[in-house]
Chain A
């Protein structure tokens, strides 16, 4: 029943998209400067229906209708209600439906919020966006349909992977998708702008908010995934340069480059084609990311070969998208006259883009390279954290310095008169770094440079803030973003250098002493929960240095459906440091393997990223007020 509703709505939406495209082309022939109400209505109906369609799937999960394939594959009648709902988008098929919802709603919102822009431009954006919608609905209907029916209806579902039953992971995909898929609208707008020769200034104004909002959501979405990885995967890290993580970072780099170069296009009417390329690139990278993650090609070329249909569909779609947009781009490309001075804001924004493209290229190469060597040389290699750290970190140091100096420079041309202050700030940063390693611990040259450059950025931005506050005309978002990026790098640097961990085996009643800690394994309890059993250990941790005592209780959970063992870390978060403990059983033994970690400034890493994302939202609301 539910599956029929879902399927019919999807099919109907396909027809609606086609009709929008048809009516849109009709509109282009008419001379008046407004868009026919009919198109608004169809677009509204389309958005409403796709939301209903999504709720239909949620309903299927809520009532555990196992005749629906997606529900059978990813749910279980005993699962807590919250995770039944989040299970809706916690799988390939459901998340694709979420993808189409965002495509559709953004299409409608773009239509209604850009009334002061040229009609042709809006109509072409609508057409392109609906072509994308059709592509994805096709994919859902003929390849990855969450509403597929299973006959006969199974009595019970297979359950959701326990490590996905988690609040951070419940909100991670929707946030990330608002970023990922949100970028589709400026892909469409870029195509429309090319086709209609729309003025760069107006184009920049119309997409600015969309870039800001998708960037902010992308940032916070990446953070949600990172926090989840930190406490759920039990390893105490927050970023592993895993291909799946990289896939979310690639569009982020492109968006960040875009946010900056859009300013040049808006204020100085330059870089038009470069901005267009970045718009096209961002959404293309989002689809590439989806391809890499969903096709299974990342783990091994062989999983891809086992179930190639998904991957091949996305690959074809991707090729058509790239080919289509590139051919339009080349047709319309005109070489521009550029007018840059070496010491102008424009130049520094170009420098930002230069670094962003470097990061993007490096991460992209690192992510796909193992596939390349396996296919062409049948040589399996791993490209992990040490590669990215070696290649990227030295460049980040340079980047932070540019980031500190750049925003101070005026438009068109500036003189170098701030050299003295800059040197003073640099000296201050070196001093602070000196204090850190003299009083606490020494670290490598690279870490020294990272710390100095991030402190330099923080102080420079803070100083800008004070100066700009006097002038009354300031961009608070830029200051927050750059300041918190400095904080982020600083805290990552400190966290990296001051983390400590200890690995040992204990049985109940024993005490382990090391450095200034004493850890006592107090007791072990077995508890029954709704959908799992848990072995809960209690540990008493004494820190002689701070004279503090705390209790942590890591768990080993035994889930029945599907039957899995998970290890739950126990974390005490604090302003200065986190204590992190995991425990795992050792076969045929009373001993448990205990991993104790001290992770300084974790909270501040999260706060920095939240601030970065906030700066985007702030800019969005400020800009919104300016227009109205």
Chain B
């Protein structure tokens, strides 16, 4: 019982301290934006003029108090979905986002059935 209380209190402490780790990370945003004129590079990793411009734009948007998602949406409207490395969830990308989890669940169910088959016998 004591062990359980200990674990519980630690988990709570952890969660509290996590709240502080939630401010906007500029570099994280740059890493999620594709440099459109480069070969497979993000804006964070590129020195091209395009990357520099996008960095300035993003900095301005952050100063305007825009959230991470608002920044991505702004860029998508301007350059298309190609620019973000995390495709937004919509009718085109629903399969991409849902199928992995679906496969995971199906796999789990299959294994469960396989084990249960024996238990019933």
Per the 8 Å Cβ criterion, residues 268-316 of A in contact with B are 299
**For residues 15 through 47 of chain B, which have their beta carbon under 8 Å from a beta carbon of chain A?**
15, 17-18, 20-22, 27, 31-32, 34, 39-42, 44-45, 47
A332 an interface residue at 8 Å Cβ cutoff?
no
Q: Does B117 contact A (CB under 8 A)?
A: yes
Cβ-defined contact, A384 with B108, below 8 A: no
The distance in angstroms between the C-alpha atoms of A148 and B50, with both chains bound, is 40
B86 touches A444 (CB 8 A): no
Choose, from A165-173, A361-369, A483-491, A521-529, the stretch at the interface. Answer: A361-369
Judge whether A430 and B114 touch: CB under 8 Å: no
Q: A382-B84, A383-B87 are in contact. Are A445 and B111 (CB under 8 A)?
A: no
Given A379-B81, A427-B7, A442-B21, A350–B111 Cβ distance below 8 Å? yes
* Neighbour of A442 across the interface among B18, B97, B101, CB < 8 A: B18
Instruction: Give, as a whole number of angstroms, the nearest-CB distance from B72 to chain A.
Output: 10
Q: A584 on the interface (CB 8 Å rule)?
A: yes
Name which of A36-44, A95-103, A213-221, A337-345 contacts chain B: A337-345
A514 to chain B, nearest CB (A): 14
Contact (Cβ within 8 A) A366 B96: yes
| A338 surroundings in chain B (CB, below 8 A) | 114, 117-118
Residues in B neighbouring A430, C-beta threshold 8 A: 7, 10-11, 14
Given known pairs A430-B11, A445-B15, the reply for A341 and B87 (CB within 8 Å) is no
CA distance A373 to B96 in the complex (A): 10
Are B41 and A235 within 8 A (Cβ)?
yes
Is B56 among interface residues, defined by CB-CB distance under 8 A?
no
Q: Is the CB of B100 within 8 A of A384?
A: no
**Bound CA span A443–B18, Å:** 6
Q: How far is the CB of A78 from chain B (nearest CB, A)?
A: 26
CB of A324 within 8 A of chain B? no
Contact indicator B111/A395 (Cβ below 8 Å): no
B contact residues around A584 at 8 Å (CB): 47
Nearest to B103 among chain A residues (CB) is A361
A380–B118 touching, CB < 8 Å: no
CB distance from B47 to the nearest CB of A (A): 4
- Report chain B residues within 8 Å CB of A11: none
Say whether chain B's binding surface is mostly helix, strand, loop, or mixed.
helix
- A427→B95 CA distance, assembly (Å): 39
Given the known interface contacts A384-B86, A434-B13, A444-B18, the answer about A361 and B34 at a Cβ–Cβ threshold of 8 Å is no
Our pick among B31, B82, B117 for the contact of A385 (Cβ within 8 Å) is B31
Known: A242-B40, A382-B34, A382-B83. A357 touches B103 (CB 8 A): yes
Is A423 close to B, CB under 8 A? Answer: yes
Distance A592 CA – B18 CA, assembled complex (angstroms):
38
Query: Given contacts A369-B96, A377-B92, A384-B34, is CB(A448)–CB(B18) below 8 Å?
Result: yes
Closest to A586 in B: B47
Tell me, yes or no, whether A326 is within 8 Å of chain B by CB: no
Q: Known A354-B108, A395-B104; judge A442-B92 contact (CB<8 A).
A: no
A366-B107 Cα distance, complex, nearest whole Å: 19
A341 touches B115 (CB 8 A): yes
Using a Cβ cutoff of 8 Å, how many contacts connect chains A and B?
134
When the two chains form the complex, which single residue of A240, A358, A369, A438 contacts B40, counting CB atoms closer than 8 Å? A240
Interface residues of B, count at CB 8 A: 51
Given known pairs A386-B85, A430-B11, the reply for A350 and B118 (CB within 8 Å) is: no
**In the complex, what residue of chain B is closest to A243 when comparing beta carbons?**
B40
Report whether B82 and A380 are in contact in the complex, using a CB–CB cutoff of 8 Å: yes
Residues of A near B65 (CB, < 8 A) are: none
Please report the C-alpha to C-alpha distance between residue A443 and residue B20 in the assembled complex, in whole angstroms: 8
A391 at the interface (CB under 8 A from B): yes
- Assuming A240-B40, A380-B81, A434-B10, is B86 touching A386 (CB within 8 A)? yes
Question: With A383-B87, A434-B10 given, is the CB distance from A365 to B32 under 8 Å?
Answer: no
Q: Is the CB of A339 within 8 A of B118?
A: yes
**B69: which A residues are within 8 A, CB to CB?**
none
Interface pair B93/A381, CB less than 8 Å apart: yes
Contact A381 B92 (CB under 8 A): yes
Q: Are A384 and B93 in contact (CB under 8 A)?
A: no
Q: Are the CB atoms of A442 and B17 closer together than 8 Å?
A: yes
Interface residues of B in 35-79 (CB under 8 A from A): 39-42, 44-45, 47
Q: A340-B118, A341-B118, A430-B10 are in contact. Are A235 and B45 (CB under 8 A)?
A: yes
Which residues of chain A are near B32, meaning CB under 8 Å? 384-386
Closest to A431 in B: B10
Q: How far is the CA of A299 from the CA of B22 in the complex (A)?
A: 35
Given A342-B115, A443-B21, is A358 in contact with B82 using a C-beta cutoff of 8 Å? no
Given the known interface contacts A350-B111, A426-B7, the answer about A381 and B118 at a Cβ–Cβ threshold of 8 Å is no
Q: In angstroms, how far is the closest chain A Cβ from the Cβ of B42?
A: 8
- Assess the B27–A387 pair: CB atoms within 8 A: no
The answer on a CB contact under 8 Å between B21 and A380 is no
Query: Is A625's beta carbon under 8 Å from chain B?
Result: no
CB of A134 within 8 Å of the partner chain:
no
A390 CB within 8 Å of chain B: yes
Whose C-beta in chain A lies nearest to the C-beta of B7? A427
Within 8 Å CB of B83, what residues of A?
382
Known contacts A235-B41, A373-B93, A445-B18, A383 near B85 by CB under 8 Å: yes
Q: Can you name 10 A-B residue pairings with CB atoms under 8 Å?
A: A340-B115, A357-B107, A362-B100, A365-B96, A369-B96, A382-B83, A385-B31, A442-B18, A501-B27, A567-B47
Query: Closest 3 interchain pairs by CB?
Result: A384-B85, A386-B86, A235-B45
Q: Which residues of A contact B (CB under 8 A)?
A: 233-237, 240, 242, 299, 338-342, 347, 350-351, 354, 357-358, 361-362, 365-366, 369, 373, 377, 379-387, 390-391, 395, 423-424, 426-427, 430-431, 433-434, 437-438, 442-445, 448, 501, 567, 584, 593
Beyond A235-B41, A362-B103, A381-B82: 12 further Cβ-contacts under 8 Å? A235-B42, A341-B115, A362-B100, A380-B82, A381-B87, A384-B34, A387-B85, A387-B87, A423-B7, A430-B7, A434-B10, A444-B18
